[in-house]
Copies of this chain bind each other. A is one copy, B any other.
Amino acid sequence: MPDSLTIGELSARSGVAPSALRYYERLGLIRADRTGGNQRRYARAELRRVAFIRISQQVGVSLDEIRAALDSLPEARTPSPQDWARLSASWRNRLDERIRLLTRLRDDLDGCIGCGCLSLQRCTLNNPEDTLAGEGPGARLVLPRPTDDPTLASSLN
């Protein structure tokens, strides 16, 4: 059990392709030492960083935001369980929001299947929270323009 991993080993253990790992390094999400022959050697702690990256992506967070989060880890010492817990907790709201949105979408979809609408007229699908009420006659679609709502935009692209 070596205390450093080659890129192939890290790839196998993390399920992330070597090309992606190099890409993450370029973006500053992970780091590697080099051997005399210029090959990457990863400390075992990098495995945890990669885990965090993949989990964060599932939550719907961009690599740029993930980088910012990782940058908040202490550099001096190996991050503690609490450090990781703090980062994970910081995605909690995003995750809750996404689940809430999808759940309402599912319920509305059920309702629409019942009423056969999808008509942009009555269904909450088409005007959730009534955010567009009072902007003149005529119904509008469910989504604010993607550019208006980065949260949604990320889930739409």
Contacts and interface: CB of A to CB of B under 8 A. Distances in A.
Nearest to A82: B116
Interface string A144-157: 11000000000111
A141 B50 contact: yes
Nearest to A50: B141
Interface string A103-119: 10110011011011111
A24 interface: no
Majority secondary structure, A binding face: helix
A98 interface: yes
A54 B15 contact: no
A15 B99 contact: no
Interface residues of A, number: 58
Contacts of A142: 15, 51, 54-55, 58
Contacts of A80: 116
The 4 closest A-B pairs by CB, nearest first: A81-B116, A85-B113, A15-B141, A84-B118
Interface of A: 12-17, 47-48, 50-52, 54-55, 57-60, 80-82, 84-85, 88-89, 91-92, 95-96, 98-99, 101-103, 105-106, 109-110, 112-113, 115-120, 125-126, 138-145, 155-157
